[in-house]
């Protein structure tokens, strides 16, 4: 059994507080696999009864099955990482591709979208940070938010990023896009922002627990299969695009009547 295959049908049924537990579990699978229910309950600041009820609600008979499936899922991921990225047939890969998109959108916490949308109502300056292939996605994000009337700053090289980060104020919003979430530059950036400026920091990362994810005010995570061709990354980023669009659409939905002229065709 795969952890995500078990829990996905139950995610839409979770309450707000259960979504917080689910987010914690997804981000800390590797640590949770060897912890007792009392330890994990203490980490989440809930009772063992509450956590056991949550475990059963997401499809497991008990805590033992919950940790066993997590261990199996992590072990299976490790084995898959050692294999060729195209060990599955094209048809199977298409199915995984669609499943990843569906999972990424399904697990989004609606309250997070609302929080970002409400923050955008104050018309903050939007700062975008990304490297490599992710820069293409941030260019698209810049296009979206400029179209909605925002001032967007997207420094695309390291020297410019060092200058720009000094211009960020506490009223602004910062988006950091990094799948791995372990880049030293982003960690230093977020330490600086958290300690000195305190804008709203929104990260978009992979689902695995990572430093950037944990340092963010709000994190949106995606599921995807990392792919490389001739040592160049060609991992699908379509789920990230979906999240960026949903953030903007949530903002437009909550905007005052007549503020935007939307045409649906």
- Tens digits of residue pLDDT in 126-138: 999 999 888 989 9
**What pLDDT is stored for residue 87 in this prediction?**
44
Of 3.40.50.300, 3.40.50.10490, 1.10.20.140, 2.40.10.120, the CATH number of 110-254 is: 3.40.50.10490
Alpha carbons 233 and 158: distance in angstroms, whole number: 20
| Band of residue 84 on the pLDDT scale cut at 50, 70, 90 | very low
Please name the helix (run of DSSP H) or strand (run of DSSP E) that holds residue 79, with its range, or none: helix 63-82
**What pLDDT is stored for residue 88 in this prediction?**
45
Cβ neighbours of residue 257 under 8 Å, at least 6 residues apart? none
For the segment 97-112, what is each residue's pLDDT rounded down to a tens digit?
788 888 888 888 889 9
Please name the helix (run of DSSP H) or strand (run of DSSP E) that holds residue 174, with its range, or none: strand 173-177
Can you spell out the DSSP letters for 146-158? HHTT--EE---SH
Which pTM was predicted?
Answer: 0.66
Q: Which of 12-26, 150-164, 200-214, 223-237 has the lowest average pLDDT?
A: 223-237
Alpha carbons 216 and 190: distance in angstroms, whole number: 8
Q: What angle in degrees, to the nearest 10, is found between the helix axes of 238-254 and 110-120?
A: 60
**What pLDDT is stored for residue 22 in this prediction?**
84
Alpha carbons 142 and 154: distance in angstroms, whole number: 7
Domain map of the chain by residue range?
3-83, 110-254
Of 159, 170, 191, nearest in space to 127 by CA: 170
Of 226, 210, 179, 215, nearest in space to 29 by CA: 210
Domain 3-83 class?
A: mainly alpha
Three-state DSSP class for residue 263? coil
Please name the helix (run of DSSP H) or strand (run of DSSP E) that holds residue 112, with its range, or none: helix 110-120
| Band of residue 4 on the pLDDT scale cut at 50, 70, 90 | confident
Alpha carbons 200 and 169: distance in angstroms, whole number: 10
pLDDT of 258 strictly over 70: no
Alpha carbons 176 and 163: distance in angstroms, whole number: 16
Q: Are strands 173-177 and 126-129 parallel, antiparallel or unpaired?
A: parallel
Alpha carbons 90 and 66: distance in angstroms, whole number: 32
Mean pLDDT within 154-159: 92
């Amino acid at each position: 059994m795969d952890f995500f295959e078990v829990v996905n049908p139950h995610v839409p049924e979770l309450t707000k507080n259960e979504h917080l537990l689910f987010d914690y579990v997804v981000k800390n699978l590797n640590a949770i696999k060897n912890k007792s229910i009392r330890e994990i309950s203490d980490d989440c600041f809930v009772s063992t009864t509450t956590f056991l009820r949550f475990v059963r609600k997401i499809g497991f008979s008990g805590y033992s099955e919950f940790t066993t499936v997590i261990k199996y899922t992590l072990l299976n991921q490790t084995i898959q990482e050692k294999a060729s990225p195209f060990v599955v047939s094209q048809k199977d890969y298409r199915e995984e591709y669609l499943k990843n998109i569906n999972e990424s959108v399904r697990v989004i916490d609606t309250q997070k979208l609302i929080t970002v949308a409400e923050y955008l109502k104050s018309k903050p300056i939007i700062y975008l940070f990304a490297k490599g292939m992710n820069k293409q996605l941030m260019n698209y994000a810049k296009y979206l938010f400029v179209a909605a009337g925002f001032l967007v700053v997207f420094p695309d090289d390291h020297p410019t990023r060092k200058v720009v980060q000094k211009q960020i104020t506490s009223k602004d919003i910062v988006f950091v896009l990094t799948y791995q979430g372990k880049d030293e530059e982003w960690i230093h950036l977020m330490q600086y922002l958290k300690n000195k400026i305190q804008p709203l920091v929104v990260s978009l990362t992979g689902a695995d627990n990572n430093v950037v994810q944990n340092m963010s005010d709000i994190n949106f995570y995606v599921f995807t299969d990392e792919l490389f061709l001739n040592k160049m990354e060609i991992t699908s980023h379509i789920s990230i695009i979906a999240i960026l669009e949903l953030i903007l659409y949530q903002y437009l939905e909550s905007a005052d009547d007549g503020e935007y002229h939307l045409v649906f065709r």
